[in-house]
């Protein structure tokens, strides 16, 4: 009876095992390579236990007053400690909104020394950043499944030239590497992409699979203006994102106030539903995302080892070290090309050349280690064998099991709302007539009966051939009409009586109106004559 409970238990256990496996292979196989070639000084700090154990995290990025903080409030359906909302640049700090029974604010300096939190490496950005970083703990059911990071509004015009006192894009990069989703918010009234915003988007490069774009406050403009704004946004994004694929843009108005123009209400509901479903998939795919990030990291660590050992090999043993170092940094592109050819490595696996040149300028090349093939063999074995084994452990999603959503409460209640009349899709399409005392087809039945009689029924029933002549007038494909026939022929005798025919005509109209057909006929659509 409780077999589904067992399945859920097995699923969480196997995911925990994947996380434990990731910790083990990172510490024993990848970390030695990173330490040997000073990977952490160049690219990314060492991974700690909380990096593997952390809940999925969502990073919100956008220019000031695009609705980032309001978006969090909308998701949680409540305020959180430290919230400030206004038309001016209000959020002046990074705020990690996380779950805790005890609500409050943890300042940045305390946060980076907490061994249970994954923020310890952020201490490298200094006090100027830590004074602008905090964690707001909230007892919200939404945060049991995810954590959300609010960022300062990105400035435009003269304000962007004022130095923040810390490496803003560096902090964004650090978060981008560790979060599961990056939501870029745009205001329908402010589509200009400032220089700082452009730099911020460029800092997110390499994490394109995590980025989702939201055009917010879309209810403030009518449908004609919305088309123009959408076109302008896509044109601007095309210049910044520099990918051949078209970015998916979610259009909506993520706050709890009345819509100014509700002509696009249905569009906003559909888009919100898509975005929330995407976010609800995060806890389920968290182990897979961590696995993916570790593979990315391992490939970069291998390339880094080749670069560093190649530079060490080129250095003279006694004289002219400084001159040779400058020459190697200047000609780093040639070193990249040589490694690509010799090791058969894709150009996409190499780190950004400008950043690498800047970091190399501060290092002593003579302290770099020569190539140690054994370390690389261990990482290759890890990628070929251990990672494959962990992939097999991640349970494949069983399409036959409707699993419980892992993010509950707040605005996510509306995604699965099957109780109130305001749930998504309630009273529309196949759900129309649900809960009504009268059968939904009764309203149009006199018209359907006339068509039925014109088909010359025999003993009160029409044959499939006769019904087909009327049903094909809908111009629906045969595969769809076949499904409608199966749903309507309730007694499975190969004929349709007048009630079954009325149901078939109703389902045809449901499909023509753009709604999906059910796999099984809902109880409220069964004709009253067939309910017993």
**The pLDDT value given to residue 425:** 65
Residues 112, 196 within the same domain: yes
Residues 237, 374 within the same domain: no
Residues 6, 59 within the same domain: no
Pairing assessment for the beta strands 147-150 and 94-99 based on DSSP bridges? antiparallel
Tally of domains in the chain: 3
Domain holding 359, by residue range, is 1-37+294-394
DSSP letter assigned to residue 105: E
In Å, what is the CA distance from 484 to each residue of 1, 323, 494, 496?
A: 33, 79, 13, 12
Residues 276, 311 within the same domain: no
Residues 90, 234 within the same domain: yes
- Please report whether residue 417 resides in a domain: no
- Please report whether residue 195 resides in a domain: yes
**Cβ neighbours of 472 (radius 10 Å):** 11
Q: What percent of the chain has pLDDT over 70?
A: 90
Quick one: pLDDT band at residue 269, thresholds 50, 70, 90? confident
User: Which range, of 53-62, 96-105, 184-193, 419-428, averages the lowest pLDDT?
Assistant: 419-428
User: Which range, of 7-16, 221-230, 424-433, averages the lowest pLDDT?
Assistant: 7-16
User: Is 16 a residue whose pLDDT tops 70?
Assistant: no
User: Residue 382 in 3-state DSSP?
Assistant: helix
- Please report whether residue 286 resides in a domain: no
Residues 208, 299 within the same domain: no
Domain CATH code at residue 122: 3.40.50.300
**The pLDDT value given to residue 382:** 92
Q: Please write the tens of the pLDDT for every residue from 199-251.
A: 888 888 878 888 999 999 998 888 899 999 999 998 888 888 777 777 789 99
Domain CATH code at residue 32: 1.10.268.20
- Please report whether residue 408 resides in a domain: no
Q: Can you give the pTM of this predicted structure?
A: 0.76
Task: Pick 417 or 382 by higher pLDDT.
Answer: 382
DSSP annotation string for 386-447: IHHHHHHHSPPP-TTS-PPPSS-SGGGGGTS--SSTTSTTTTSGGGTTTT-SS-GGGGGHHH
DSSP annotation string for 120-181: GGGGGGHHHHHTTEEEEEE--GGGGT-EEEE-PPBP-GGGGGS--SS-HHHHHHHHHHH-SE
What mean pLDDT is predicted for residues 394-409? 54
- Please report whether residue 176 resides in a domain: yes
Q: Please write the tens of the pLDDT for every residue from 317-329.
A: 777 778 888 888 8
DSSP annotation string for 213-245: EEEE-GGGS-HHHHHHHHHHHHHHHHHHH--SS
**Cβ contacts of 62 within 8 Å, gap of 6 or more:** 68, 151, 153, 154, 184, 185, 186, 187, 197
Say how far residue 136 (Cα) sits from the centre of its chain.
22
Residues 489, 347 within the same domain: no
DSSP annotation string for 464-530: HHHHHHHHGGG---HHHHHHHHHHH-TT-SS-EEHHHHHHHHHHHHHHHTTPPPPSS--GGGS-GGG
Q: How far apart are CA 394 and CA 67, in angstroms?
A: 36
Candidates 399, 370, 378, 267; CA nearest to 312 is 370
Q: Please write the tens of the pLDDT for every residue from 19-46.
A: 888 999 999 999 999 999 999 988 888 8
Q: Please write the tens of the pLDDT for every residue from 270-292.
A: 899 899 989 988 888 888 888 88
**The pLDDT value given to residue 239:** 81
Final residue before a domain boundary, out of 234, 255, 280? 280
Q: What percent of the chain has pLDDT over 90?
A: 26
Q: Are 61 and 204 in contact (CB under 8 A)?
A: yes
Q: How far apart are CA 291 and CA 526, in angstroms?
A: 48
Residues 148, 265 within the same domain: yes
Residues 64, 25 within the same domain: no
Calculate the average pLDDT of the chain: 84
Q: How far apart are CA 55 and CA 289, in angstroms?
A: 11
User: Which range, of 36-50, 245-259, 286-300, 424-438, averages the lowest pLDDT?
Assistant: 424-438
User: Is 479 a residue whose pLDDT tops 60?
Assistant: yes
* Residues 12, 293, 246, 228, CA torsion sign: positive
**The pLDDT value given to residue 417:** 55
Residues 305, 187 within the same domain: no
353-360 and 332-343 are packed helices; what angle lies between their axes, rounded to 10 degrees? 110
Final residue before a domain boundary, out of 228, 245, 280? 280
**The pLDDT value given to residue 1:** 35
């Amino acid at each position: 009876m409780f077999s589904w409970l067992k399945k859920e238990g097995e699923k969480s256990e196997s995911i925990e095992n994947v996380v434990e496996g990731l910790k083990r292979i990172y510490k024993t196989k990848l970390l030695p390579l990173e330490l040997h070639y000073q990977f952490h000084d160049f690219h990314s700090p060492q991974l700690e236990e909380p990096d593997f154990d952390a809940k999925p995290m969502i990073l919100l990025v956008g220019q000031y007053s695009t609705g980032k903080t309001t978006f969090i409030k909308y998701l949680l359906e409540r305020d959180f400690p430290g919230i400030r909302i206004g038309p001016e640049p209000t959020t002046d700090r990074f705020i990690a909104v996380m779950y805790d029974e005890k609500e409050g604010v943890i300042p940045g300096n305390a946060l980076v020394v907490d061994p249970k939190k994954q923020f310890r490496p952020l201490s490298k950005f200094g006090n100027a950043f830590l004074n602008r970083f905090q964690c707001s703990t909230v007892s919200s059911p939404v945060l049991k499944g995810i954590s959300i990071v609010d960022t300062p509004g990105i400035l435009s015009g003269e304000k962007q030239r004022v130095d923040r006192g810390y490496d803003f894009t560096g902090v964004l990069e650090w978060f981008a590497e560790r979060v599961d989703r990056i939501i870029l918010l745009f205001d329908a009234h402010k589509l200009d992409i400032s220089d700082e915003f452009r730099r911020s988007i460029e800092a997110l490069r390499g994490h394109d699979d995590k980025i989702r774009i939201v055009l917010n406050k879309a209810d403030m403009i009518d449908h004609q203006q919305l088309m123009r704004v959408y076109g302008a946004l896509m044109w601007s994004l095309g210049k910044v994102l520099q990918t051949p694929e078209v970015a998916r843009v979610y259009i909506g108005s993520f706050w709890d106030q009345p819509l100014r123009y509700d002509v696009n209400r249905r569009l906003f509901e559909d888009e919100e539903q898509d975005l929330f479903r995407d976010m609800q998939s995060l806890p389920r795919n968290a182990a897979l995302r961590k696995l993916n990030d570790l593979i990315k990291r391992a490939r970069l660590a291998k390339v880094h080892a080749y670069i560093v050992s190649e530079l060490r090999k080129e250095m003279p043993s006694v004289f002219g070290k400084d001159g040779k170092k400058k020459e190697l940094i200047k000609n780093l592109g040639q070193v990249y090309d040589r490694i690509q050819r010799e090791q058969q490595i894709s150009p996409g696996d190499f780190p950004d050349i400008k950043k690498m040149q800047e970091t190399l300028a501060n290092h002593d090349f003579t302290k770099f280690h020569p190539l140690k093939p054994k370390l690389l063999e261990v990482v290759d074995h890890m990628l070929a064998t251990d990672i494959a084994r962990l992939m097999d452990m991640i349970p494949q999603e069983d399409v036959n099991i409707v699993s419980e959503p892992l993010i509950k409460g707040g605005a996510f209640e509306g995604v699965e709302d099957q109780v109130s009349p305001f749930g998504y899709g309630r009273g529309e399409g196949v759900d129309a007539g649900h809960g009504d005392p009268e059968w939904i087809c009764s309203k149009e039945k006199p018209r359907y009966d006339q068509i039925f009689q014109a088909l010359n029924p025999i003993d009160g029933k029409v044959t499939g051939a006769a019904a087909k002549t009327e049903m094909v007038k809908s111009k629906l494909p045969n595969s769809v009409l076949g499904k409608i026939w199966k749903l309507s022929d309730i007694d499975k005798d190969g004929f349709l009586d007048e009630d079954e025919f009325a149901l078939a005509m109703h389902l045809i109209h449901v499909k023509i109106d753009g709604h999906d057909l059910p796999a099984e006929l809902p109880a409220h659509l069964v004709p009253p004559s067939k309910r017993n």
